[in-house]
Amino acid sequence: MSSATLIQPLHTLPILDLDHPGAHDQEYRKRREIITNAALEFHAQQSLSLPLVEYTTEEHKVWQHVYKKLKHLHDKHASSLYNQGRTLLNLPQNHIPQLAHLSEQLQQLSNFHLEPIHGLVDARIFLSKLANNTMLCTQYIRHPSKPEFTPEPDIIHEVLGHVPLFTNPQLNKISQLIGKAAISATKSQLLSLTRLYWYTIEYGLIKEHNQIKALGAGLLGGIHDLQNAFSGHAIHKPFNMQEIINTDFNYSFEQPHFFVIPSLDNLQTETEQLIKSF
């Protein structure tokens, strides 16, 4: 599937819902439009160079605020493979890094690539990209009035949540398995793959030395999400593929429950078995 084919259905999806914290801020909306147009252009032109964003001082301040708070939470709750990845990449604390630079680093470390996207997209489009070791990443940043929680992906979610995990070859292999299966999956199989992705790569917990740690990017890139997962109020369930593929989720609200993955080996085997059963 070419990039041009990929981008076609995306125009129909809403960019900002009315309950988004920046929905009524005209300046913010204009700013997002500039950044998202560059992503659309990248795909339309089938460009090889990722767009560079000149972030404003205010945007860098949002990054600094979230980075500082997350760092403290990561020290307590992040899985060791996340911490290893963040150390390898040496992510900056004081400024928002460029996707182009991170993509180059990942290419060297684990043959993984990043491409820009303008927002949430159709599940098949998003997952299929993973088949080619590529992740579609937003480049705009959340509204400054609500830095602790975002109802959609933004550059903080992508970089502080996902990017360090892409240094891990086994997690990339699992993402790739899901991505390859998504290309030809039926509607109900695609729903199963989307839920598996959600409850593992986005919001999974993992057991490490008898402790429960955060694995998913939604947790590692979100102050509120990470606090919620370890607050004692959220439910931690043992990993169960049948339950996962039958459990719906809502990306815009606080997650009420999480599944604890016993190990990456276990997640890979379970993923392979699910796909074989299609």
Q: Which residues are annotated as a binding site for Fe cation?
A: 157, 162, 202
Residue 205 in the binding site for Fe ion (CB under 5 A): no
CB of 45 to Fe ion, least distance (A): 25
Q: Which two tokens stand for residue 205?
A: 């917990």
Determine the size of the site formed for Fe ion (CB under 5 A): 1
Q: Burial, 60: exposed, middle or buried (Cβ in 10 Å; 0-12, 13-18, 19+)?
A: middle
Q: Which is nearer to Fe ion, 159 or 217 (CB)?
A: 217
Interaction pattern, residues 95-134, with Fe ion; x per rule: CB under 5 A: ----------------------------------------
CA–CA gap between residue 224 and residue 271 (Å, rounded): 29
Q: Looking at beta carbons only, is 160 or 217 nearer to Fe ion? A: 217
From the list 247, 114, 134, 215, the residue with the least C-alpha distance to 182 is: 134
∠ CA 39-45-51, nearest 5°, is: 35
**Which one, 4 or 13, has the nearer CB to Fe ion?**
13
| Angstrom distance (rounded) from CA 194 to CA 125 | 11
Q: How many CB atoms lie within 10 A of CB 274?
A: 20
Q: How far lies 90's CA from each of 82, 94, 100, 106, in Å? A: 12, 12, 15, 12
Token pair in block for residue 197? 């992705």
Query: What six digits make up the tokens of 247?
Result: 């459990």
Smallest distance, Fe ion to C-beta of residue 137, A: 9
| Binding-site sequence positions | 157, 162, 202
User: Nearest distance from residue 20's CB to Fe ion, in Å?
Assistant: 17
- Specify the residue, 22 or 161, whose C-beta has the smaller distance to Fe ion: 161
Q: Which amino acid is at 170?
A: Q
Give the CB-nearest residue to Fe ion: 217
Kind of pairing between the strands at 211-214 and 113-116: unpaired
CA dist., res. 32 & res. 10, Å (int): 16
For residue 3, the minimal CB distance to Fe ion (Å) is: 20
Rounded Cα gap, residues 53 and 50, in angstroms: 10
Name residues contacting Fe ion, limited to 5-24 (CB under 5 A).
none
Of 27 and 173, the one with the shorter C-beta distance to Fe ion is: 173
Q: Which of 275, 278, 221 is nearest to 86 (CA)?
A: 221
Q: x/- binding map, residues 209-228, to Fe ion, per CB under 5 A?
A: --------x-----------
CB of 138 to Fe ion, least distance (A): 9
Q: Write each residue from 42 to 61 as x if it is in contact with Fe ion (CB under 5 A), else as -, in one continuous string.
A: --------------------
CB of 203 to Fe ion, least distance (A): 9
Instruction: Between 89 and 242, name the residue whose CB sits nearer to Fe ion.
Output: 89
Interactions with Fe ion, residue window 154-183 (CB under 5 A): none
Question: Site residues (CB under 5 A) for Fe ion?
Answer: 217
